[in-house]
Amino acid sequence: MNSKKLERAIELGKRLEHFFVDWVGSEGFPYMNSARRIEQVAENQFAVEEWICPLTLKHLSENSKRDPG
């Protein structure tokens, strides 16, 4: 993951009221949802709040090595 791109995305997300998060499941199914808060929690990790979607969480657990950058 490109840490500079992640930092820029987090800073932009903090300035917006809502932003979109997308991911691709292990079977290649794309998924998109909106969120309201984003924070960096480690060098290459972030957390979002006010985003409730069990299907997206399932996709993340199946395809945790995807590099969105």
* pTM reported for the whole predicted model: 0.53
Instruction: Provide the residue range defining the domain that includes 19.
Output: 3-62
Name the maximum alpha-carbon separation found in the chain.
Answer: 33
Angle at 23 between CA 33 and CA 20, to 5 degrees: 35
> pLDDT for 11-41, tens place per residue?
888 888 888 877 787 778 787 778 888 888 8
Instruction: Please check whether residue 27 lies inside any domain of the structure.
Output: yes
Whether 37 maps to a domain, the answer reads yes
How many domains does the structure of the chain reveal? 1
Distance in angstroms (rounded) separating the CA atoms of residues 7 and 25: 24
Per the domain annotation, does 67 fall within a domain?
no
Whether residue 43 is contained in a domain is answered as yes
Q: What per-residue confidence (pLDDT) applies to 34?
A: 81
